[in-house]
Structure 1
Amino acid sequence: MNKPYNILLYYCYTPIADPEAFREEHHLLCLELNLLGRIIVSKEGLNGTVSGSAEDCATYMATMKADPRFAKIDFKVDASDIHAFAKLHVRTKAEIVHSGMLHIDPNQRTGQHLSPQEFKAMKDREDVVVLDVRSDYEYSVGRFKNAVTLDIGNFREFPEKVNELKEKYKDKKILTYCTGGIKCEKASAFLLEQGFENVYQLHGGIIKYGMEAGGEDFEGKCYVFDNRVAVDVNKVNPQVISECYVCGTKSDRMVNCANPVCNLHVPICEACGWGMDGACSPACKEHPEKRPYNGTGYYQKEMNGYNPLKGFNRPKKADVQV
């Protein structure tokens, strides 16, 4: 049976002359199509994750590709039983993914794109290093077998780690990967700028690799930025690599601590989830503000009077002459 909703993951590095004007127009388009999710607009392009009915998502993709600026967008499409978001946010920012590397334009120079099948064929060669450019909380729940990971809590810390990579891997072929491909665009370009000569990137990221190459040798789950939190990608040789924060048993069940003051985002197995009443520690279990635990470890953010038109500057009515 076909699932009624789609979840779209996409980005496009392309010049947008007036990001604020485009944001207004794009916000309206999403409202008209009943889409929910998060979209970032900047002078360098567009980055989004949205959900909606299959029909509305198809219309959205066709509308975007009809615009010459976004004709090259590669949409990663996943089916869903429900919306993956509760709200719609369309915002303007300096970058479509926060890196601090404002001088880099992936349209000018970036690592060579590899299809999932090409990545699969290269990743185990002796002259290759597979580099995860994501943050620690992302790769802790899932990563490629034998991948090099970086001790970073945010992508903007990536440039600080390049000297460490130079010492070990400068003469190797570097295959970068991330969730959907967007971080690799700037990470691979920065590596080239810093003197690495053979730099590649997994086109479409982990998500596309799962869809087109079966996800082989991706161990654990892929962290995603919607209500699903983490998704399966490996249909060939899956395994769990993350451990329960409380007892240390293998678990990829990502939860938020029931204590909102803590809100630690870690794997906690189902048994410990119930045993700790959703908390990550005895102190959090006894905290006076602890939220009721419903077995999921996911707590929907308060809507706080959410209005889908918030942030959308509707035209003012003309003054009425008396």
Structure 2
Amino acid sequence: MNHILNISAYKFVPLPDAAALRERLHEQALALALKGTVLLAEEGINLFLAGPAEAVRGFVAQLRQDPRFTDLQPKESWSAEQPFRRMRVKLKREIIRMDHPTIRPDSSHPEGRAPAVDAATVRRWLGQGHDDAGRPVVTLDTRNAFEVDHGTFEGAIDWRIAKFTEFPQALLAHKDELMDKTVVSFCTGGIRCEKAAIFMREAGLEHVWQLEGGILKYFEETDGAHYQGRCFVFDEREALDKELRAAA
């Protein structure tokens, strides 16, 4: 029986008090016997947690008492076993490393975010082969090569990067190939494709979107059409199918 609730969520929002926040969140997570990882940086929060549903949702409720996190919307999946071995809350320079400090999304200001497109719209665009303006649509996988090997969208662009810090250079090398297309960047949960979409806009690509909530939200809100294989996740489940289930 799947009785362990797994959540993932992120938010780009200024956290000048990240160090103090680390202590508080660590204490709260331990008190609820949760396991997983919470990353904090001045640019925001990125978390992966698992435990009994009441405990996990209790942690989220406590987190939302902070006005900066009231709109946090975790993606949920279930497992029979705890997929994490311990609880870690870590301070980082970036919650997802890109090594481009000027790329600083800020969810508290809409103009600071990359334009997003929801899962249902992406499914429809891929089915018809073009966006609502008739422009050809391509999907761009911003994940590392070993993640892509578990599964990706049909025909997705994959530059075989080994780490996300390689994405900017790869984009600049291939930018001209994307100029006349609508580009939907995607990743596991949305965090990488958010930074990627902003970088692409700054590089001069006009018709760029991020898949809101990433692959996991696409699985949650659609039937997973146009996606082949599974979605790699960074815990002991390894990869999830379109029903958000781990391999048997």
Name the residue aligned to 1:53.
52
TM-score normalised per structure 2? 0.91
Q: 2:122 aligns with which of 119, 122, 142?
A: 119
- Residue 174 in structure 1 maps to residue 183 in structure 2: yes
Is this contact kept in 2: 1:219–1:234, CA < 8 A? no
Is this contact kept in 2: 1:220–1:232, CA < 8 A? yes
Is this contact kept in 2: 1:181–1:205, CA < 8 A? yes
Deviation (angstroms), 1:109: 3.3
- Residue 202 in structure 1 maps to residue 211 in structure 2: yes
Name the residue aligned to 2:240.
231
Is this contact kept in 2: 1:110–1:192, CA < 8 A? no
Deviation (angstroms), 1:110: 3.6
- Residue 109 in structure 1 maps to residue 118 in structure 2: no
Name the residue aligned to 2:14.
15
SS at match of 2:90: strand
Is this contact kept in 1: 2:10–2:72, CA < 8 A? yes
* Pair member with larger Rg: 1
Name the residue aligned to 1:164.
173
Is this contact kept in 2: 1:38–1:48, CA < 8 A? yes
SS at match of 1:21: helix
SS at match of 2:242: coil
Deviation (angstroms), 1:181: 0.3
Q: 2:220 aligns with which of 211, 219, 228?
A: 211
Deviates more, 1:213-222 or 1:65-74: 65-74
Deviation (angstroms), 1:219: 0.3
Would you say how many aligned residue pairs link Structure 1 and Structure 2? 236
> Residue by residue, what CA displacement relative to the aligned partner does 1:241-263 show, whole Å, maximum 9, x if unpaired?
xxxxxxxxxxxx8xxxxxxxxxx
Name the residue aligned to 1:138.
147
SS at match of 1:105: coil
> Residue by residue, what CA displacement relative to the aligned partner does 1:151-207 show, whole Å, maximum 9, x if unpaired?
210011100111233121112111011000000110000000000111111111101
Q: 2:243 and 2:205 mapped to 1: Cα distance?
A: 30
Is this contact kept in 1: 2:13–2:105, CA < 8 A? no
Q: 1:112 and 1:234 mapped to 2: Cα distance?
A: 27
Deviation (angstroms), 1:230: 0.9
> Residue by residue, what CA displacement relative to the aligned partner does 1:13-45 show, whole Å, maximum 9, x if unpaired?
111112111111111011111110111100011
Task: Please state which structure has a larger fraction of its residues in helix.
Answer: 2
Q: 2:56 and 2:68 mapped to 1: Cα distance?
A: 19
Q: Amino acid of the residue matched to residue 92 of structure 1?
A: L
* Structure 1 stretches of at least 4 aligned residues deviating more than 3 Å after TM superposition: none
Q: Amino acid of the residue matched to residue 11 of structure 2?
A: C
> Residue by residue, what CA displacement relative to the aligned partner does 1:258-282 show, whole Å, maximum 9, x if unpaired?
xxxxxxxxxxxxxxxxxxxxxxxxx
Name the residue aligned to 1:91.
90
SS at match of 2:20: helix
Q: 2:191 and 2:24 mapped to 1: Cα distance?
A: 23
> Residue by residue, what CA displacement relative to the aligned partner does 1:208-258 show, whole Å, maximum 9, x if unpaired?
1111102112101100001101110269xxxxxxxxxxxxxxxxx8xxxxx
Q: How does 1:6-85 map to 2 (within 5 A)?
A: 6-85=5-84
Percent of pairs identical after alignment?
A: 34
Q: 2:207 and 2:218 mapped to 1: Cα distance?
A: 21
Q: 2:71 and 2:204 mapped to 1: Cα distance?
A: 28
Q: How does 1:296-307 map to 2 (within 5 A)?
A: none
Deviation (angstroms), 1:145: 0.5
Say which structure, 1 or 2, has more relative contact order (CA 8 Å, 6+ apart). Answer: 2
Q: 1:28 and 1:185 mapped to 2: Cα distance?
A: 30
Deviation (angstroms), 1:150: 1.3
Q: 2:243 and 2:174 mapped to 1: Cα distance?
A: 28
Is this contact kept in 1: 2:220–2:243, CA < 8 A? no
Q: 1:181 and 1:56 mapped to 2: Cα distance?
A: 24
Q: Amino acid of the residue matched to residue 109 of structure 1?
A: G
Name the residue aligned to 2:3.
4
TM-score normalised per structure 1? 0.70
Q: 2:120 and 2:80 mapped to 1: Cα distance?
A: 29
SS at match of 2:112: coil
